[in-house]
């Protein structure tokens, strides 16, 4: 049986995603330490790889965009040595704003409504020092386009950081928004989905970024991309 195209699947899955967060978000912020931190506007930057690349930015202010951040970015807003200027985006931002307003949650970084595929329609290329995504690319209709857009958004010599559970589409039986698998194959970053040719992102980005990936704690694929200078 032929699988439905990712764009159609993505649109059909949105109501269920909204319903999930309507049910889950208030309880998570109340009961889970990780979500209490997400709702804390004084929470420190927690991703160790993002902290590593922050240290490589020479300026005192570091601009970061969190792509597909959900209702509350998983990144903190404070750093001991740098001033962070954080932007969060998510295509469901307006729905999340309603959910958080009804639940009395004041987000430290309210997400801006934008699909990863549309980033360059809303932000200028070369705007950010770091573009970050966590467990978001498997939700997209066109993950390679999203990654390309993220590379375009950062300045030359700056960074894209991706942190995703490996093969999340398969783990979730391709239900809802979980439509793609991200993994490391023979040292290269590959995105795949049944019925589609695997995408070797390392090779696709060869002219625009240096791609380095590793597996963190067995289940997390972490990719750091350094944008090449224009030729």
Average pLDDT of the chain, as a whole number? 95
Summarize the confidence of residues 86-109 as an average pLDDT: 97
Q: Could you report the per-residue pLDDT of 24-52, keeping only the tens digit for each?
A: 999 999 999 999 999 999 999 999 999 99
Q: Is residue 92 part of a domain?
A: yes
* pTM of the model as a whole: 0.96
pLDDT of residue 1: 34
- CATH code where residue 141 lies: 3.40.50.150
pLDDT of residue 140: 96
Summarize the confidence of residues 137-142 as an average pLDDT: 96
Q: Is residue 1 part of a domain?
A: no
Q: Could you report the per-residue pLDDT of 50-88, keeping only the tens digit for each?
A: 999 999 999 999 999 999 999 999 999 999 999 999 999
Structural domains of the chain, count: 1
Instruction: List own/partner pairs for 213-217 with CB under 8 A and 24 or more apart.
Output: 213/184, 213/187, 213/188, 213/189, 214/184, 215/166, 215/184, 216/163
Please report which confidence band the pLDDT of residue 14 belongs to, taking 50, 70 and 90 as the band edges: very high
Q: Could you report the per-residue pLDDT of 154-172, keeping only the tens digit for each?
A: 999 999 999 999 999 999 9
pLDDT of residue 4: 64
Q: Over 80: is that where the pLDDT of 2 sits?
A: no
Which residue range(s) make up the domain with 124? 6-227
């Amino acid at each position: 049986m032929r699988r439905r195209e990712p764009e159609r699947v993505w649109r059909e899955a949105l109501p269920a995603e909204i319903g999930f967060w309507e049910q889950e978000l208030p309880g998570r912020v109340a009961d889970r330490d990780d979500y209490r931190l997400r709702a804390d506007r004084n929470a420190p930057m927690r991703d160790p790889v993002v902290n590593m690349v922050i240290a490589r930015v020479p300026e005192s202010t570091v601009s970061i965009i969190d792509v597909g951040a959900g209702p509350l970015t998983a990144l903190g807003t404070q750093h001991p040595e740098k001033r962070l200027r954080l932007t969060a985006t998510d295509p469901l931002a307006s729905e999340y704003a309603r959910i958080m307003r009804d639940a009395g949650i004041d987000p430290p970084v309210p997400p801006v409504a934008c699909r990863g595929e549309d980033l360059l329609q809303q932000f200028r290329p070369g705007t950010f020092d770091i573009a970050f995504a966590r467990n978001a690319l498997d939700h997209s209709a066109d993950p390679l386009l999203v990654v390309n857009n993220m590379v375009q958004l950062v300045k030359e010599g700056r960074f894209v950081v991706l942190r995703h559970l490996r093969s999340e589409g398969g783990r979730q039986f391709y239900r809802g928004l979980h439509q793609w698998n991200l993994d490391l194959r023979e040292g290269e970053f590959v995105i795949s989905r049944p019925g589609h040719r695997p995408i070797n992102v390392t090779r696709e980005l060869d002219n625009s970024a240096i791609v380095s990936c590793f597996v963190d704690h067995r289940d997390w694929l972490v990719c750091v991309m350094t944008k090449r200078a224009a030729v």
